[in-house]
Chain A
């Protein structure tokens, strides 16, 4: 039996830092008062150390009274100094377990364990901020087996491992969506330089530089642009390297385990039966490389937005099916996508063409050289027909596969049993053309995930409804 025990003493530091902000908030009115009145200031400065010492002592008591143990297939947590709180989480209800370790924690050989259930809120239901790595591993095994730890070595045959090679990482970094973010970030930093360094007048300097360039050759301008893009690539590469270095995916029995990270090691384990849906994402930058990424939708608030659920950040498209067959046979379905009827094509074109037209009109009204803006119109039509071409579905015995595109192409594979509700809707235009929008709701953390197919044929939709409600 996993006995009642405390966290590692380093957790005291974690508690102190976590609550320091709250303390500062509570003291804020007093601090403002002390800044204003000198008489009050000396009084405040005498009492501040006492308050801080009391605060630290309180945090030590908090640590002393924070115990966790395993009993009756439940992970139990008891904490609180004055008000005792107890939190029992049944193993069966656990959705995901994440283990992470920051730099300081890694020096001390500690990890942070976060356990997530289907309950609401944007924080994990149970957080153990500092326990030794061995204990965390032991605890994870207990949680997964739903019984007391049995010191057997894991069955090697049951383990399937995937790693990222360095060339994968290279493609990942240079085609990531973060590229655009970094370019925008670089611009922001440049514009902020003005405030940090007075009298620099960065825009004037840049403007002069730019006009010099214009006066010079186009050649140099292109060189500068290439340099900026390369720099952004490099930064994006570094960011992804830090995030995904040492990426390993293991299928261990009924669980998927992912570990990644250079400075902060992150480990996530997801029970396969908890996976609500699978997403195959072909980013627009990755399409030329024929690379896709695979994500899972699960009830979890632990991961960073979106990133926590990536089970394969980058994989060649032709290897994707083999990967699924091996790692997630539950979701392995060779599928042929059925396209939308021809009469819904117009909607996809108009939905891009109309905003583009508005944009072009604005450009003509306000910008001196507007003719290059006209290129937006054919681009919008092209994107619309691309979106139409890539939208579709495939109905299987126990799965529904929905594919759609905004910029990147996303295929969502949902088991019938994981569809929380299904709805069809018709607006005025759709009624006239016997079309409808099919929506599938999937459970996922705070915000439910909805997948939709706009412009479905009415008869095809009723087939899906019958499939769903049998």
Chain B
């Protein structure tokens, strides 16, 4: 199911591959649970049947993180930057909509880690006096253009905190 609202932009489709990789890396932590249970079984008398249950849990969590979540996240991420405000819609389990008036923007950054850079993607971070908001995984040139645009619009309506 694809949510489309006219006027909104989607983030880059390459984000899917990027999130699948980060999902895989994140699930390492879940695998630590059955592994440490196996270790614990050597030292203490623990019921055996819990181990396959934990394995099943880890496998399904990994599949979920790689196959389901990136897709849903991509489908739900929408953003719109107008002259007055930045409008973000996102959320896998809880759906968020955030509005940031251009007047309140303090500064904008783009950043990319090694994995993002491999896919030619950047994250745009918008800072206000009360915290940061991120638009993840935009194509490098789109991100750079967006950063320039927000920064220009924010300067035009400069106001003190």
Contact = CB atoms under 8 A, between A and B. Distances in A.
Contact of A421 (B93, B99, B160): B99
B100 interface: yes
Interface in B105-161: 128-131, 133, 159-161
B84 A118 contact: no
A444 B87 CA distance: 23
Contact of A441 (B97, B131, B159): B131
A420 B129 contact: yes
B96 A425 contact: yes
B103 to A, nearest CB: 8
Nearest to B98: A423
Enumerate the 3 nearest inter-chain pairs by beta-carbon distance, A residue then B residue, closest first.
A443-B129, A448-B130, A423-B98
Interface residues of B, number: 23
B5 interface: no
Contact of B96 (A417, A424, A468): A424
Nearest to A423: B98
Interface of B: 84-85, 87, 91, 93-101, 103-104, 128-131, 133, 159-161
Given A421-B99, A422-B99, A469-B84, A427 B128 contact: no
Contacts of B84: 469
Nearest to B126: A421
A274 B98 CA distance: 24
Nearest to A298: B161
A214 B87 CA distance: 65
Contacts, number: 70
Given A118-B129, A441-B131, A427 B99 contact: no
A118 B104 CA distance: 13
Given A92-B160, A425-B91, A428-B93, A420 B98 contact: no
Nearest to A462: B97
A465 B101 CA distance: 11
Interface in A417-470: 417, 419-428, 431, 441-444, 448-450, 465, 468-469
B94 A426 contact: yes
Contact of A423 (B97, B101, B103, B104): B97
Nearest to B85: A469
Given A421-B100, A443-B161, A469-B85, A448 B131 contact: yes
A421 B104 CA distance: 8
Contacts of B87: 469
B97 A425 contact: yes
A426 B89 CA distance: 11
B161 to A, nearest CB: 5
Nearest to B159: A417
Contact of A469 (B91, B99, B131, B159): B99
Given A421-B98, A423-B98, A469-B101, A299 B93 contact: no
A92 B98 CA distance: 30
B130 A441 contact: yes
21 contacts: A95-B161, A118-B129, A276-B161, A417-B159, A421-B100, A421-B131, A421-B133, A422-B99, A423-B96, A427-B95, A428-B93, A441-B130, A443-B128, A443-B161, A444-B130, A448-B129, A448-B130, A448-B131, A469-B84, A469-B87, A469-B99
Contacts of B96: 423-425
Nearest to B95: A426
Contacts of A444: 130
A376 to B, nearest CB: 29
Contact of B131 (A118, A420, A425, A426): A420
A426 to B, nearest CB: 5
Contacts of B91: 425
B97 A421 contact: no
A204 to B, nearest CB: 35
A255 B75 CA distance: 50
Given A299-B161, A427-B94, A442 B130 contact: yes
Q: Which of B97, B101, B103, B161 has the most CB of A within 10 A?
A: B161
Given A423-B96, A425-B96, A443-B130, 12 more contacts: A95-B161, A422-B99, A423-B98, A423-B99, A424-B96, A426-B95, A427-B94, A443-B161, A449-B130, A450-B130, A468-B99, A468-B101
Q: Which of A420, A425, A426 has the most CB of B within 10 A?
A: A420
A425 B94 contact: yes
Contacts of A299: 129, 161
A440 B99 CA distance: 10
A189 B97 CA distance: 49
Contacts of A428: 93
A163 to B, nearest CB: 31
